[in-house]
Chain A
Amino acid sequence: MIYTSTREGSTIRSRWGAKAAALALAATFGLAGCSAPNTDSAVPDEDAPLTGDIVFWSGFTQGPRAEYLQGMADKFMTENPDVSITIETFSWPEFETKWTTGLASGQVPDVSTALPNQVVEMINVDALAPVDDVIDDIGRDRFSAAALGEGQKDDVSYSIPLYSHAQVMWYRTDLLEAAGLEVPQTWDELKDAAIALNAPPTTYGLSVPLGTNDMMGSRYLNFYVQSEGGALIDDSGRADLTSPEAIEGINYWVDMYKKTSPEGSINYNITDQATLFYQGKTAFDFNSGFHIGGVRTNSPQLLESIAAAPLPRVKADDPIYGGETSNIPLVVWNAGDNQAASKAFVETLYADEDYVKFIHSVPGGMLPALSDISEDPAYLDDETLQQFGSSVDVIEEVIPLGTAIGMENGPTVQAGIITSQGVIEQMFQDIILNGTAVKDAAKTAQDKLNQLFVTAGVTFK
């Protein structure tokens, strides 16, 4: 028997199944309000005034970004008095639960922010409306093809990149200078420098965060594998943790953990990790330009002593690579009743002057998804961007070179699973705490990930 929730219309097969399921499904989903794509509003009369109530789920919890978005909504409502915009703010982890349960119950917004791997899942269940019309209005060639590609399926775009950031290596200039060390360019140089600067409990060379509550272990391993020209997901779509590059990477991070990292970092998440750098407890760290704001808020006295460099390579003359780029997009939901107004509002967020204000709300952290804005004098006229000009240049250089973890071959469901299940982090913990051999732990983790992919309905090539 196949049951289909009322989200797609009831198609319950078999008589007794219909009786049993009808009661449960009516109660489960009937109350939630079910809506098919609103084709009427998707093709609006351009002269008609925009109307409707728009619900916007925003992942922007930080003050300046949240205030900016509310300001834009107020402005849009003033210009379109028949439109009402309600912004509901969620933290990113909370958003994961919110949209998955919302989808099951039919309670989804009109517009939302999303992470690239979430967009893949949303596209696969037909939850999103095509947004090629919005992209064309803003200017398709202003976006990078890679960023657009993360939200495309069968040449149709379902997400609009809003801003980008990329992972780079942050370091303490004062500590390097005091020790007479150069900025590391290779993994070996990084290890040597981190060991040289390791002076616990005052300072740790480099913390290696491996908590199962986050995806930091996967991120660090991905950096190493990328630098070797490999990937954590192979061309067939399977997890690949037993390749020579992956085994080398696992060994590298296990060794680094033992030599330069706080013992507790075996269970750190991204906040624990970042806090160490903000407090001046680590000499090196990996993060995006959001580190600038973090250090400014927590330890402004250190602001003069931090800088960013490209991720280490295997050999110094290897090309610079993109370890991990995040293109954070906006999406318009299929179930929304007011797609015309929703798309019109989204479009206003990209108007040059307002867009620059938005990007300036986290200077250096959010970099423009619109290529021409990066050269715009209004954008460059910012104190932080000028102070950290060389670091921001490093980030801008690697953004087009990278993708989200596991999306090297395009958007895949596997990318979400590899970073959400803590399997790679469990593998590291197993090696370090239980003494499991690296190859055995890698094989176990690889098999587990592939099993999870199958469970999620992935078909390998």
Chain B
Amino acid sequence: MGTRIQTLGKAAFVLPAMTVVLALLIYPVLSSVFFSFTDRNLLKAAYEFVGFQNFTIVLSNPEFWNAFSTSIRWTVGSILGQLLVGFLAALALERVPRLSGLFRTLLIIPWAFPAIVIGFSWKWILNDVYGFLPNLLTRLGFSEQNVSFLADPSVVFWAVLVINIWFGAPLFMVNILAALKTVPKDQQEAALVDGANIGQRFWFITMPHIRKVVGLLIILRTIWVFNNFELLFLITGGGPAGITTTLPIFAYRTGWGLHQLGMASAITVLLLLFLLAIASIAFRIINSGDRKALR
């Protein structure tokens, strides 16, 4: 009897959290999956079950594959750049003896701004007529005429990629910096005494301590960046000529522009499956590292 009451008590404590999780996570996912098999239109009450028709249409659309390819390049480029910049900034900050808190705060500023502010600010900064940066480059003699960062097909993708790296690197920096603080100093000192060089100390002592944090960061940021919509949409709208159209923008145009909720749901389900596959592979890699370490 007592055990049963205890169990019920535990369940009662867990219930609110479970309710929130179900409402905010499970329900939207399930409803997306459900609608992906229907011809649900946002404006129409009636809809029919259409099997895999939405998936067939989406997967045979070349625009979907263009958006998918752009999403892959956008995510890989962003994550690699954010990781590199965040790592370097964290390593540098760890060595700053004074005012490291101030520098940390300054470096995290991009992360503190809402995407809409960042989007419009960069759009303003990069405008080819009155933008600060193109005019500055021209005045300094780096270009003969103002560079069209947001219109030149050979430049626009890289321009928004750099913005996303600038935006996301602080999160890597803060977390890697926190992980670096957990590396035991005595191990570093012992390795130094044993004659290990800086590269060896980093690879054999620092990396094992921060690997898991970095791995989780990469997984989480990969999901966020792959799903990111607002930054690109605000700055380029997916253009010009679809060069910066990622899957979320493609899904948005389908869902809201055409009101085809069923079709948009199919796109998001495909996106979910892809990200689940990526995340499971990444987790296996991290865990395999743990098993090797235990051996």
On A, residues with C-beta under 8 Å from B are: 1-5, 7-8, 11, 17, 20, 24, 27-28, 96-97, 100-101, 103-104, 121, 124-125, 200-201, 204, 210-214, 262-267, 269, 272, 275-276, 279, 281, 417, 420-422, 425-426, 429-430, 433-434, 452, 455-457
Can you list 12 A-B pairs with a CB-CB distance of less than 8 A?
A17-B49, A20-B34, A27-B27, A96-B256, A125-B43, A204-B129, A210-B240, A212-B242, A262-B148, A421-B258, A425-B239, A429-B242
Q: Which A residue's beta carbon lies closest to that of B127?
A: A264
User: In the complex the two chains form, what is the Cα distance from A456 to B38 in whole Å?
Assistant: 15
Contact A420 B257 (CB under 8 A): yes
Taking CB atoms, residues of chain A closer than 8 Å to B43 are 100, 103-104, 121, 124-125
User: In the complex the two chains form, what is the Cα distance from A422 to B129 in whole Å?
Assistant: 23
CB A147 to nearest CB in B, in angstroms, measures 24
User: In the complex the two chains form, what is the Cα distance from A200 to B151 in whole Å?
Assistant: 17
CB A442 to nearest CB in B, in angstroms, measures 16
Contact B258 A417 (CB under 8 A): yes
Taking CB atoms, residues of chain A closer than 8 Å to B47 are 2-5
In addition to A103-B42, A200-B145, A212-B240, 18 A-B residue pairs with Cβ atoms within 8 Å of each other are A2-B48, A4-B47, A5-B47, A27-B27, A104-B42, A204-B129, A212-B237, A263-B151, A263-B152, A264-B127, A264-B129, A264-B150, A267-B156, A269-B237, A276-B130, A281-B129, A456-B259, A457-B41
User: In the complex the two chains form, what is the Cα distance from A417 to B129 in whole Å?
Assistant: 31
Taking CB atoms, residues of chain B closer than 8 Å to A204 are 129
Known: A262-B129, A276-B129, A430-B241. A7 touches B49 (CB 8 A): no
CB A35 to nearest CB in B, in angstroms, measures 13
Contact A452 B258 (CB under 8 A): yes
Pick the contact of B129: A7, A125, A201, A421 (CB < 8 A). Answer: A201
Q: Which B residue's beta carbon lies closest to that of A104?
A: B42
Taking CB atoms, residues of chain B closer than 8 Å to A420 are 257
User: In the complex the two chains form, what is the Cα distance from A201 to B138 in whole Å?
Assistant: 11
Known: A27-B27, A28-B31, A124-B43. A434 touches B256 (CB 8 A): no
Q: Is B82 engaged at the interface, CB distance under 8 Å to the other chain?
A: no
CB B241 to nearest CB in A, in angstroms, measures 4
Contact B260 A267 (CB under 8 A): no
User: In the complex the two chains form, what is the Cα distance from A430 to B239 in whole Å?
Assistant: 11
User: In the complex the two chains form, what is the Cα distance from A121 to B237 in whole Å?
Assistant: 24
Contact B256 A429 (CB under 8 A): no
Known: A2-B48, A24-B30, A125-B43. A100 touches B259 (CB 8 A): yes
Contact B150 A4 (CB under 8 A): no
User: In the complex the two chains form, what is the Cα distance from A266 to B156 in whole Å?
Assistant: 12
Known: A121-B43, A262-B128. A429 touches B258 (CB 8 A): no
Contact A24 B259 (CB under 8 A): no
What sequence of 0s and 1s flags, for each residue 5-45 of chain B, a beta carbon within 8 Å of any chain A beta carbon? 00000000000000000000001001100100010011111
Taking CB atoms, residues of chain B closer than 8 Å to A11 are 46
Pick the contact of A281: B34, B38, B130, B237 (CB < 8 A). Answer: B130
CB A324 to nearest CB in B, in angstroms, measures 20
Q: How many residues of B are counted as interface, with CB atoms below 8 angstroms from the partner's CB atoms?
A: 45
User: In the complex the two chains form, what is the Cα distance from A97 to B256 in whole Å?
Assistant: 7
Name, among A97, A104, A281, the residue most crowded by chain B CB atoms within 10 Å (CB to CB).
A104
Contact B153 A433 (CB under 8 A): yes
Contact B241 A429 (CB under 8 A): yes
Taking CB atoms, residues of chain B closer than 8 Å to A100 are 42-43, 256, 259
Contact B241 A434 (CB under 8 A): yes
What sequence of 0s and 1s flags, for each residue 245-257 of chain B, a beta carbon within 8 Å of any chain A beta carbon? 0000000010011
Known: A262-B128, A455-B260. A1 touches B48 (CB 8 A): yes
User: In the complex the two chains form, what is the Cα distance from A433 to B157 in whole Å?
Assistant: 14
Contact B45 A5 (CB under 8 A): yes
Q: Which A residue's beta carbon lies closest to that of B152?
A: A263
CB B287 to nearest CB in A, in angstroms, measures 35
Q: Is B238 engaged at the interface, CB distance under 8 Å to the other chain?
A: yes
Known: A24-B34, A204-B129, A417-B258. A212 touches B239 (CB 8 A): yes
Known: A7-B45, A266-B240. A421 touches B253 (CB 8 A): yes
Pick the contact of A263: B44, B128, B138, B260 (CB < 8 A). Answer: B128
Taking CB atoms, residues of chain B closer than 8 Å to A104 are 42-43, 261
Taking CB atoms, residues of chain A closer than 8 Å to B78 are none
User: In the complex the two chains form, what is the Cα distance from A101 to B38 in whole Å?
Assistant: 17
Contact A264 B148 (CB under 8 A): yes
Taking CB atoms, residues of chain A closer than 8 Å to B257 are 417, 420-421
Q: Which B residue's beta carbon lies closest to that of A24?
A: B34
CB A236 to nearest CB in B, in angstroms, measures 21
Q: Which B residue's beta carbon lies closest to that of A420?
A: B257
Contact B31 A27 (CB under 8 A): yes
Q: Which B residue's beta carbon lies closest to that of A126?
A: B45
User: In the complex the two chains form, what is the Cα distance from A324 to B261 in whole Å?
Assistant: 31
Q: Is B70 engaged at the interface, CB distance under 8 Å to the other chain?
A: no
Q: Is B164 engaged at the interface, CB distance under 8 Å to the other chain?
A: no
CB A12 to nearest CB in B, in angstroms, measures 10
Q: Is B146 engaged at the interface, CB distance under 8 Å to the other chain?
A: yes
Taking CB atoms, residues of chain A closer than 8 Å to B206 are none
Q: Is B71 engaged at the interface, CB distance under 8 Å to the other chain?
A: no
Taking CB atoms, residues of chain A closer than 8 Å to B42 are 100-101, 103-104
Name, among A101, A212, A272, the residue most crowded by chain B CB atoms within 10 Å (CB to CB).
A212
CB B242 to nearest CB in A, in angstroms, measures 7
Contact A264 B151 (CB under 8 A): yes
CB B29 to nearest CB in A, in angstroms, measures 12
Taking CB atoms, residues of chain A closer than 8 Å to B34 are 20, 24
User: In the complex the two chains form, what is the Cα distance from A20 to B258 in whole Å?
Assistant: 26
Q: Is B75 engaged at the interface, CB distance under 8 Å to the other chain?
A: no
Pick the contact of B128: A17, A20, A264, A426 (CB < 8 A). Answer: A264
Contact B236 A3 (CB under 8 A): no
CB B281 to nearest CB in A, in angstroms, measures 31
User: In the complex the two chains form, what is the Cα distance from A420 to B260 in whole Å?
Assistant: 14
User: In the complex the two chains form, what is the Cα distance from A263 to B134 in whole Å?
Assistant: 12
Pick the contact of A4: B27, B46, B49, B237 (CB < 8 A). Answer: B46
Contact A429 B130 (CB under 8 A): no
User: In the complex the two chains form, what is the Cα distance from A211 to B245 in whole Å?
Assistant: 13
Contact A125 B44 (CB under 8 A): yes
CB A209 to nearest CB in B, in angstroms, measures 11
User: In the complex the two chains form, what is the Cα distance from A103 to B43 in whole Å?
Assistant: 7
Pick the contact of A265: B31, B38, B151, B261 (CB < 8 A). Answer: B151
Q: Which A residue's beta carbon lies closest to that of B22?
A: A27
Contact A429 B239 (CB under 8 A): yes
